[in-house]
Structure formats: C-alpha cells, structure tokens
Amino acid sequence: MAIAMRTDAETLKITRASDGLELDLELIQGMWTEAQYLKLSAATNRLIEFTDGQIEVLPMPTYKHQMILRFIFLALMTFVEPLGGRVLFAALRMQVRPGKFREPDILLLRDANDPRCQNRYWLGADLVVEVVSEDNPERDTVEKVLDYAEAGIPEYWIVNPQDETVRVLSLQGERYAEHGLFRRGAVASSALLEGFTLPLDALFDAV
C-alpha cells in the first residue's frame, strides 16, 4: 500500500494514495508497536523515529543540511572504508534498544563485517553524526545525546549550522564527555578514529 505522510504544527496524518483516506496519527500515539513502526517507515520516504509506542516524523532536510552532510560523509568514507569500515547516511534505521529507533544522519562502523550491520536496520554503530535541524535543535543537542549514550555508541558528532560549530562527544562509561567543541578556523578531530580530522572552514563553506 502506497502512503504519504503530512505533518505541520498541529497535525500528523497519513494518507492512503489509492483513495485519499486520511488517518490522524495523533489519536493513536503511544499505541504503536515496533512491528507497525517498521512497516510504516518502510512504506514512506519520510524519516520516522520511534520511542515506546510514539512516532515522530522528522522534517525534510534542507539544501544546506544536505550539503554539510555530504561533505562529512565523503570525508568519513574516504578515511574509514580503506581501513575496512562502513559509512552510511540517512535514511537508515538504528535500534537504540528494543522499543526505540533513531535515524542518524550518518552511521559508521569500523568493521564492515560487524554483526550490528543488518539489512532492515542497524543494531548500533561506532560513530554517529547529526546535523542540527532548525525546527527542534534540542532533538539533536539534548535528546539524542541521551539516546546515543543509551545505545552505547562510542562517539557522537553534533554539527550545528546555526552557530557553525562541531561538538564531538566521547562515551565515558554510560555518559558522554566532550572531546572538543570546534569553531570556524579550527580543525575538528575524532577521539575514536585516530588521524581523522575535519576543517571547519571547508565544511561550512561547502554550502
């Protein structure tokens, strides 16, 4: 069944393409099963995240968002894949834990044969990247900090086009510690990937 999703400040609806039938998703928030989420997210090109019966449809990325994402992805791919790693970009679901899924902008595994690399969704990652969205910055800067720590992801990069910063977080136990907060003129570095750096002027000028 082909479906389309529509969201705005007040409504979240799903429309069946064959006859235009609409379903107000807000009425069933909290009641979604993991299986229903996986089926729904496989039937649309929208990014959808899931937490304990609740779904969230993410905004469509902007040109600026995608150009920044492209720059980082190509840099990581060039560095990691010759070493046997794997780097992918959204849309790809990642299970934080049973009952919670996120769709990071970039997911990286240092070993392409890592068993967490699954076909329908990944069971984790070694490094994830999020480009902060204008609609809800706290999703990437607060909520996902907790989520990715819960998932045990060793490193999380938060790229903020609004203030042109890159914040690199390194997992220490169950919480993240700041490896570095990098601004224009600086070169961001990874605690996990020895030798990987990213010049911020080139990154934010990529747009």
53 and 71 fall within a common domain: no
Residues spanned by the domain of 195 = 63-205
Choice between 47 and 180, residue whose per-residue pLDDT is larger? 180
Last residue of a domain, one of 21, 37, 57: 57
44 and 111 fall within a common domain: no
93 and 126 fall within a common domain: yes
What domain count does the chain have?
Answer: 2
What is the per-residue pLDDT for 30?
72
What is the per-residue pLDDT for 9?
42
68 and 166 fall within a common domain: yes
Question: pTM for this structure?
Answer: 0.83
What is the per-residue pLDDT for 10?
45
- What is the CATH classification number for the domain harbouring 175? 3.90.1570.10
42 and 70 fall within a common domain: no
DSSP characters over the chain: --EEEEE-SS-EEEEETTT--EEEGGGGTT---HHHHHHHHHT-SS-EEEETTEEEEPPPPPHHHHHHHHHHHHHHHHHHGGGT-EEEESS--EEEETTEEE--SEEEESSTT-TT--SS-BS--SEEEEEPPSS-HHIIIIIHHHHHHHTT-SEEEEEETTTTEEEEEEEETTEEEEEEEEETTSEEE-SSSTT-EEEHHHHHH--
- What is the tens place of the pLDDT at every residue in 123-174? 999 999 999 988 889 999 999 999 999 999 999 999 999 999 999 999 999 9
